[in-house]
């Protein structure tokens, strides 16, 4: 019964980890796009071209906010992954013990 409970928890944890990965990837794409925009705006500014300062600041704020959110999600993902691996290890040990018990009968 405990093995089955763990397997159910592991399936849910796996789904949660996939969700974290998806959200992290979305933020990474946004961060990359904003970074490219900021670099292009800086390049234009350095060449003496006019740059919309408000747009630059909005993009910079969005970029920095996305980086902060990304970092929090990565920390949460890593913590969840450690919990997943720990439960998986425990569950595998339970399987091994159960199988050993069956073989010894």
Question: 48: alpha, beta or left, given left = phi > 0 and alpha = psi -120 to 50?
Answer: left
Question: Is the CB of residue 94 less than 8 Å from the CB of residue 10?
Answer: no
Contact 32, 71 (CB under 8 A): no
Q: In the prediction, which pLDDT does 24 show? A: 98
Q: What is the mean pLDDT of residues 40-44?
A: 98
Please give the pLDDT value at position 105: 81
- Interval 5-33 mean pLDDT: 98
| pLDDT tens figures, 45-93 | 999 999 999 999 999 999 999 999 999 999 999 999 999 999 999 999 9
Which among 1, 38, 23 is positioned nearest to 77, based on CA atoms? Answer: 23
Average of per-residue pLDDT across 6-18: 97
Summarize the confidence of residues 18-44 as an average pLDDT.
98
């Amino acid at each position: 019964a405990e093995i089955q409970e763990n397997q159910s928890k592991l399936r849910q944890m796996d789904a949660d980890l996939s969700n974290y990965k998806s959200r992290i990837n979305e933020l990474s794409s946004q961060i990359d796009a904003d970074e490219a925009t900021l670099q292009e705006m800086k390049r234009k500014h350095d060449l003496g071209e006019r740059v919309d300062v408000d747009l630059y600041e909005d993009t910079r704020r969005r970029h920095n906010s996305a980086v902060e959110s990304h970092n929090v999600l990565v920390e949460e993902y890593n913590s969840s992954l450690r919990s997943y691996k720990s439960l998986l290890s425990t569950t595998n040990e339970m399987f091994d013990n159960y199988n050993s018990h069956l073989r010894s009968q």
